[in-house]
């Protein structure tokens, strides 16, 4: 898949790879979330192939709940506000029960002492 969507599918796969190594590749994970945040702040375009904010939402954020290692670590990288704002994207791959469990787990892990989230 060409364009921004294809790029974010590849970036999501790199995020998964970052959890395959021991220790996890924290630097790559941080940079991916920082880039996602930057892309989400870009102006939208009328072309899905070039609209980076839509690509991040559909090809990246929507897929985060697919990998438990990512969701178990999400509290370190995402603010509560972003998590709540992405609810409709997280629900794409999840049942109601699965989403509710994801939200409970995220909120239980989230601590005010964590460094500022990247997204």
**Residue 79 pLDDT exceeds 70:** yes
Cis bond upstream, residue 23 (ω within 30) = yes
Note the pLDDT of residue 114. 61
Q: How far apart are CA 109 and CA 57, in angstroms?
A: 23
Task: Give the pLDDT band (50/70/90) at residue 1.
Answer: low
Average pLDDT of every residue of the chain: 92
- The predicted-structure confidence for 28-67, as pLDDT tens digits, reads as follows 999 999 999 999 999 988 877 789 999 999 999 999 999 9
Q: How far apart are CA 32 and CA 52, in angstroms?
A: 14
Among 51, 109, 48, which Cα is nearest to 78's? 109
């Amino acid at each position: 898949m060409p364009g921004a969507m294809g790029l974010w599918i590849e970036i999501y796969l790199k995020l998964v790879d970052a959890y395959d190594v021991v220790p996890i590749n924290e630097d790559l994970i941080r940079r991916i979330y920082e880039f996602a945040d930057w892309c989400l702040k870009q102006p939208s375009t009328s072309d899905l192939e070039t609209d980076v904010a839509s690509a991040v939402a559909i090809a990246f954020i929507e897929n985060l709940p697919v990998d438990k290692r990512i969701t178990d670590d999400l509290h370190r990288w995402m603010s509560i506000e972003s998590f709540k704002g992405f609810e409709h994207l997280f629900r794409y791959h999840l049942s109601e029960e699965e989403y509710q469990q994801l939200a409970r787990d995220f909120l239980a892990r989230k601590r005010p002492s964590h460094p500022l989230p990247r997204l």
